[in-house]
Chain A
Amino acid sequence: MHAETYIVDEPENSIFRVNRATMTSPEILAKEWDTIFSLNWLYIGHVSELAEPGEYRRRTVGGRPLFFVRGKDDVIRAFHNTCPHRGALICRQDEGVASTFQCFYHAWSFDTSGNLVGLPDEDGYGPNFDRSERALAQVARLEQYRGFYFVNFDREAVDLHTYLADAKEYLDLVADQSLIGRMKVVKGVQSYSMRANWKLLVENSIDGYHALPTHQTYFNYLQGMGGMAAAAAPTPDGQLPPRGRGGVALGNGHAVVDGRAPWGRPVARWSPTLGEEAKGEIEEIREQLIQKYGREWGLRIAETDRNLFIYPNLIINDIMAITVRTFTPVRPDYMEVTAYELAPEEESGDRLHRRLRNFLEFLGPGGLATPDDVEALESCQLGFGSGGVTWNDISRGIHRKALGSDELQMRTFWRQWNAQMTGTPASRWDDGPIAPREPVTAGTR
């Protein structure tokens, strides 16, 4: 469908449509590999996962096997997971601490900085053989913001901080939840899949409109556990809580749903599901946040929820817990999903267990809600196969300042996606006629 239109974007006519072929076409997926997953900053991991020199994590990023490691020199690097000799995988375990990485095929050995430090029978190579030219290949770019590490396969890409645009404010709200200034990824990885196009999960992860109809049984549980008053309740000092900004376009395709939901937050909004015994502790955490950061920022951290989307495939949903979730297409109608839980490093014992149980009340492939989402996305994908309808309607709220239950968040994603797929810079992130800031196109290709 190269000659076809991907999206129709006409806010003046209250129209925003997405061509369903973007979800089903193998040609479009091939083009996404060359653009979306080759030119943008892609999340690889969190600083807390590489605590000590030599510690590594194996990751598949943008469909490519990579690993990232803290060198003995304390520098974090990301490598292509392939031996520069003949191609075998160098890192064949998901995690660990290494002093060297040895390829099992011909026993070439590399230090934690990627240098070739040993190979059997080196005399067998000619006089021009240079070990330094056979080092592990580093990914073109690796940069971090507040401990979140991203790679970019495009050497010419704009720097990460510029790329993240206004999303940095929301990453700060997540990173600042630790009173000692250190967040950690908790042990345990949820690795699952959906028989659906990967962009359906982008939409779903920042879609407030579906929550009540799709997740009715979750809300029944919340109600049954003691009520959903947390969202509307005044803060413990009797003042009205911050309400959040609704659906917000954050630039470069990033978006957030910034609001206040009816569940409890371990940091720091108590509700009955967190247990009566936790009430005092959670209120104390909230007060400490206000003391540390001031009332406005402290209350935003504690009392508001955010479904944050970092273009193109990272979700950090800071809701009843913090889920860090990436997903990658395998086929147009199939994706693999990887999800982690982020927590303040100072959490342990009952407090950590409370957070983890709060995560599982909704989130993940065994939660009381996420399986409904898996079903919804797979249902959409099956529906696309029916034909008869060319366009999805993503126009909700296009005529007004977007609410969290509107679809501006999705529109800003699609605007950037369309810009990159067609090679024309996006003219706007919001629905308004004036571009709020200069769009940044990924790379210079």
Chain B
Amino acid sequence: MTTLERTDTELSRLLMQRRVEEFFYFEADLLDAWRLDEWLALFTDDATYVVPSTDDPSADPADSLVLIDDDRERLHWRVERLKSRHAHREYPWSRTRRFISNVRVVSASEDEVVVRASFIVYRFRAGHADQFIGRYRYRLEPAGDSFRIRARRAELDQERLSPNGAVSMIL
């Protein structure tokens, strides 16, 4: 029986991986439960939330038409809208279930952790089951043993928003 050598570097890498995954599962739970105020509180004041158009998942919202390009203020209004009875595509709220996997910590420093992950979001409403599949890119700010979100980007793999029509919930 061989002894597994565990270096401090490896342990800290595993710990980081575990913390990031826990954070993603926590965030997914908040979103699936529509606990949007708690979700919004995860974001830093200078945070961004971007969903590129389906023709170019790498598009820069500064020079390309995307689907969503929210700063913290726009995100606040998006949440207010979804909490009201007047975001008609989400009143009543759809049922969603998020699966996050293939989590890769791209880089980690004391100041910032960069992560990418795969997602599947199922959305059920009005007799339809729609799926949104793609890749998340996060820039996270370490905060104790958890994180705050500086940048959150959901890049869809599908070629068009068909037949799911709109990104009416948080992706």
Chain A positions near chain B (C-beta within 8 angstroms): 94, 186-195, 214, 216-218, 220-221, 224-225, 334, 336, 339-341, 348-349, 352-353, 356-357, 359-361, 364-366, 368, 370-372, 374-376, 378-379, 382
Beta-carbon contact of B166 and A360 below 8 Å = no
**Complex: A193 Cα to B65 Cα, angstroms:** 17
Chain B positions within 8 Å of A216 at CB level: 84, 86
Chain B positions within 8 Å of A341 at CB level: 65
User: Can you report 16 A-B residue pairs in the complex whose CB atoms are below 8 A from each other?
Assistant: A188-B64, A189-B65, A190-B53, A191-B159, A192-B166, A336-B162, A356-B61, A356-B64, A359-B65, A360-B69, A361-B74, A365-B166, A371-B166, A372-B86, A374-B168, A375-B88
Beta-carbon contact of B165 and A365 below 8 Å = yes
Chain A's closest residue to B59 (CB) is: A188
**Complex: A193 Cα to B161 Cα, angstroms:** 6
B55 within 8 A of A: yes
Chain A's closest residue to B154 (CB) is: A366
**Complex: A340 Cα to B65 Cα, angstroms:** 8
Give the shortest distance, in Å, between B79 (CB) and chain A (any CB): 11
B5 within 8 A of A: no
Give the shortest distance, in Å, between B121 (CB) and chain A (any CB): 14
Chain A positions within 8 Å of B77 at CB level: 217, 220-221, 224-225, 368
Chain A positions within 8 Å of B89 at CB level: 371-372, 374-375
Beta-carbon contact of B64 and A187 below 8 Å = yes
Give the shortest distance, in Å, between A416 (CB) and chain B (any CB): 28
Beta-carbon contact of A186 and B64 below 8 Å = yes
B144 within 8 A of A: no
Chain B positions within 8 Å of A379 at CB level: 88
Over the window 25-62 of chain B, the binary record of Cβ atoms lying under 8 Å from chain A Cβ atoms (1 yes, 0 no) is 00000000000000000000000000111111001011
Over the window 59-96 of chain B, the binary record of Cβ atoms lying under 8 Å from chain A Cβ atoms (1 yes, 0 no) is 10111111111000110011011001011111000000
Chain A's closest residue to B51 (CB) is: A366
**Complex: A361 Cα to B64 Cα, angstroms:** 15
**Complex: A340 Cα to B167 Cα, angstroms:** 17
**Complex: A186 Cα to B67 Cα, angstroms:** 14
Beta-carbon contact of A371 and B168 below 8 Å = yes
Give the shortest distance, in Å, between A113 (CB) and chain B (any CB): 27
Chain B's closest residue to A368 (CB) is: B81
**Complex: A360 Cα to B52 Cα, angstroms:** 12
Chain B positions near chain A (C-beta within 8 angstroms): 51-56, 59, 61-69, 73-74, 77-78, 80-81, 84, 86-90, 126, 128, 159-168
Chain B's closest residue to A340 (CB) is: B65
Closest 3 A/B residue pairs (Cβ): A188-B65, A366-B67, A188-B64
Beta-carbon contact of A370 and B166 below 8 Å = yes
**Complex: A381 Cα to B59 Cα, angstroms:** 34
Give the shortest distance, in Å, between A15 (CB) and chain B (any CB): 30
**Complex: A190 Cα to B101 Cα, angstroms:** 27
Chain A positions within 8 Å of B161 at CB level: 190-193, 365
Chain B positions within 8 Å of A214 at CB level: 88
**Complex: A349 Cα to B52 Cα, angstroms:** 18
Query: Given A191-B162, A194-B165, are A376 and B88 also a contact pair (CB < 8 Å)?
Result: yes
Query: Given A221-B77, A341-B65, A366-B167, are A188 and B126 also a contact pair (CB < 8 Å)?
Result: no
**Complex: A192 Cα to B168 Cα, angstroms:** 12
Beta-carbon contact of A353 and B65 below 8 Å = no
Beta-carbon contact of B163 and A195 below 8 Å = yes
Beta-carbon contact of A192 and B64 below 8 Å = no
Give the shortest distance, in Å, between A254 (CB) and chain B (any CB): 25
Give 18 new A-B contacts, CB below 8 A, not counting A192-B162, A366-B67, A371-B90. Answer: A187-B56, A187-B59, A189-B54, A190-B53, A190-B65, A190-B67, A193-B160, A195-B165, A216-B86, A217-B80, A339-B65, A349-B62, A356-B61, A356-B66, A357-B69, A365-B165, A365-B166, A371-B166
